[in-house]
Amino acid sequence: MGDRDRAAGSHSRTWAVWLVPAALVLAGWAVARAAAGPAPVPAANQLGQWSPYAVGFGIGILSCISFLISNRPIGVSTAYAQTSGMIGRLVAGSRIDRMAYYRAVKPEIGWEWMLALGVLLGAWLSAVLFGELRVEAAPPLWVAEFGPGAAWRWLAAAAGGVLLGVGSRWAGGCTSGHGISGTLQLVAGSWLAVVCFFVGGVATAFMLY
């Protein structure tokens, strides 16, 4: 093993911590520039949306806070596995805890479960504060494309959800765990995963719409 091998992937540069305030200033400047520039005409569904750069910057900062306080990456799909295990335990009892998968992912109210609960509360808070809270059986685009029958949308949503459940556990993460948290840690497999998410998603979307 040469020096290069030992140095690969190492984190020995203390000075690098100064990159945090530097990045904050730079990103703040970029956001301010973007906000000051000529605003494009917003599409109907973009009224009231915040700049995607401001939102992305905020999510990046949240990732840092998550690593600092909890030493964990943000990832939502684990909470579904925890919940399905807890529901399974209600139905099938302690048999669930003997299953290989639930021995690896403990069915309990853990950090990830609280994160998912927080996402629900945070989105609700945002919708209330910005007047976007409205009960909607099916999204307007679906109604325009496939007609007003909400039951069909619900069926399609459930089917899509099953695929997301199988796929996210199969790949070991979702758009947050791989797509943001894994990629920002420069994990090669997470970059591969997010490419596959979008290849599958774009191909399917072009077939469906």
Partner 1 sequence: MLAALRSNKRVQLAAGLAIGVGFGFLLQRGGVTRYEVVIGQLLLQDFTVVKIMLTAIVTGMIGVHALCSAGWATLSKKSGSVGSTVVGGLIFGVGFAVLGYCPGTMIGAVGQGSLDALFGMAGMLAGTAVYAAAYPALSGSILKIGDFGQVTLPELFRVKVWPVVFAVGACLGAILIAVEYAGL
Residues in 108-147 at the binding interface with partner 1, rule: CB under 8 A: 109-127, 130, 132-142
Q: Shortest approach of partner 1 to residue 32 CB, angstroms? A: 14
Packed helices 111-129 and 77-92: angle between N→C axes, nearest 10 degrees = 110
Q: Which of residues 50-109 bind partner 1 (CB under 8 A)?
A: 50, 52-53, 55-74, 76-77, 80-81, 83-85, 87-88, 99-102, 109
CA separation (Å) from 153 to 140, 148, 163? Answer: 11, 9, 15
Does residue 205 bind partner 1 (CB under 8 A)?
yes
Task: Give the total of residues touching partner 1 (CB under 8 A).
Answer: 146
Gap between the terminal Cα atoms of the chain:
53
Using a 10 angstrom Cβ sphere, with 0-12 exposed, 13-18 middle and 19 or more buried, the burial of residue 183 is middle
Does residue 32 bind partner 1 (CB under 8 A)?
no
- 194 vs 200: CA distance, rounded Å: 10
- Return the sign of the alpha-carbon dihedral for residues 71, 73, 74, 80: negative
x/- mask, partner 1, residues 152-191, rule CB under 8 A, reads: -xxxxxxxxxxxxxxxxxxxxxxxxxxxxxxxxxxxxxxx
Residue 85: name the closest of 95, 76, 75 by CA. Answer: 95
Q: How many CB atoms lie within 10 A of CB 187?
A: 15
Q: Shortest approach of partner 1 to residue 35 CB, angstroms? A: 14
* Closer Cβ to partner 1, 32 or 166, answer by number: 166
Q: Shortest approach of partner 1 to residue 99 CB, angstroms? A: 6
Q: Shortest approach of partner 1 to residue 25 CB, angstroms? A: 12
- Residue of the chain from 147, 148, 149, 200 that contacts partner 1 (CB under 8 A): 200
Q: Which of residues 6-25 bind partner 1 (CB under 8 A)?
A: 7-14, 16-20, 23
